[in-house]
Structure 1
Amino acid sequence: MRRRTGLAMAGAAALAWGEWLNWRWSRALVGNSGGTAEAVVVLGYRNPQATANVINRWRVRAGIRSMAADSASGTRLIFSGGATTGGAAEAQLMSDYATSVLAFDGTVLLEDQSGTTWENITNVIPLLEDVDRIKIVSQPAHALKARAYLRRQRPDLAERLVRADDYRPGEWMVVKPLLALYGLWTLRGLQAGERKPWL
């Protein structure tokens, strides 16, 4: 009985830790930029099959729900990701899912040459020059890494970063501890100031 209680407490602690860390990452390097023109950048995940995989499908849904209701008509949805496995580009697969499955009929732009997160940011910069607010959508650790890269490449554009709706309490809860561990590993190259919430 004691062992079961201990395991249950350890499991609950792991879930709470994963939830907290993902919540924290979702609030790092974002501000309160105003204005009406908005860009939502959805980063792709390696996708060997001919249709969007479960991770890319979730990212598309998170991107669409990240669009501010009061500026939806002035928002561009940017899918970023090249063909990392020899098939179709991640950006194209995500766009196809958004338009054909989710019936999204807003403005969609594709960046289909990137093979890394650094390239994602480099290649979408020309599509962000004239917007007031920028949202980057992915799992929280990956989105934070991308925001840090934008800050390094174009600090002026990074001032326009605002929160996306890619973190929700309880969503992906069972795997959030694993996402948190993986995130700690992938974010090891970030500076301390790039990990702290601005808000």
Structure 2
Amino acid sequence: MRRRTGLAIAGAATLAWGEWLNWRWSRALIGNSGGDCEAVVVLGFQNPQATANFVNRWRVRAGIRSLSADSARGSRGTRVIFSGGAANGDAAEAQLMADYATSVLTFDGTVLLEDRSATTWENIRNVIPLLEDVDRIKIASQPAHALKARAYLRRQRPDLAERLVRADDYRPGEWMLLKPLLALYGLWTLRGLDADERMVSP
């Protein structure tokens, strides 16, 4: 009985730890920039098949739900940018995500594609020209990956990074069983970030 209780406590603590880390990452390097025009950048995941895979489908949904209510109604200049090249397949990740957004989710807002990048650094570098005229920037992916991308925008264009606001890519309980694994992987992928790039924004 004690062993079962100990295992249950350890399991609950592990889930809580994964939840907490993903929550923290989703709130790092963001501000409260105002304005009517926003861009949501959805980062692609390796996709060797001919249609968007599970991870990319979730990222598309997270990106679309990240649009604020006024933007979802068609605020002028607001856009969703799908970013990712053809890393492991014939079709670019950006195109597969855009196809899923428009044909399956029937998204009818403005969609832009960045279909040349192969790394997160390139994702950010290549979408910068598409962000120059917006008031708010949201980056949608798994929280650790999105934080890494925000840190890269801060390094490449600190002026644009001041426009970063939170995307709706973290929700309590979503991916709960996988969040400890995502947290472990996130700790590894974020090891190159400075301490101030991990701080939760006020």
For the residue of structure 1 that corresponds to 2:22, the secondary structure is: helix
**In the alignment, structure 1 residue 133 sits paired with structure 2 residue 136:** yes
Match of 2:84 among 81, 85, 110: 81
Match of 2:156 among 147, 153, 158: 153
Match of 1:177 among 175, 180, 198: 180
The percentage of aligned residue pairs carrying the same residue is: 84
Q: Quick one: which amino acid aligns to residue 4 of structure 2?
A: R
Q: Quick one: which amino acid aligns to residue 99 of structure 1?
A: T
1:198 positional shift: 1.2
2:52 corresponds to: 52
CA RMSD of aligned residues (A): 0.5
Q: Deviations for 1:44-78, whole angstroms, at most 9, x for unmatched residues?
A: 00001000000000000000000000122122000
Within a 5 Å distance, the mapping from 1:8-27 to structure 2 comes to 8-27=8-27
**In the alignment, structure 1 residue 108 sits paired with structure 2 residue 129:** no
The runs of at least 4 aligned residues of structure 1 exceeding 4 Å deviation read: none
1:42 corresponds to: 42
1:86 positional shift: 3.2
1:87 positional shift: 1.7
For the residue of structure 1 that corresponds to 2:96, the secondary structure is: helix
Q: How many residues get paired?
A: 199
1:164 corresponds to: 167
Contact 2:47 2:89 survives alignment (8 Å): no
Q: Quick one: which amino acid aligns to residue 180 of structure 2?
A: P
User: Distance in 2 between the 1:4 and 1:61 partners?
Assistant: 38
Normalised by the length of structure 2, the TM-score is 0.98
Bigger mean CA offset, 65-74 vs 157-166: 65-74
For the residue of structure 2 that corresponds to 1:169, the secondary structure is: coil
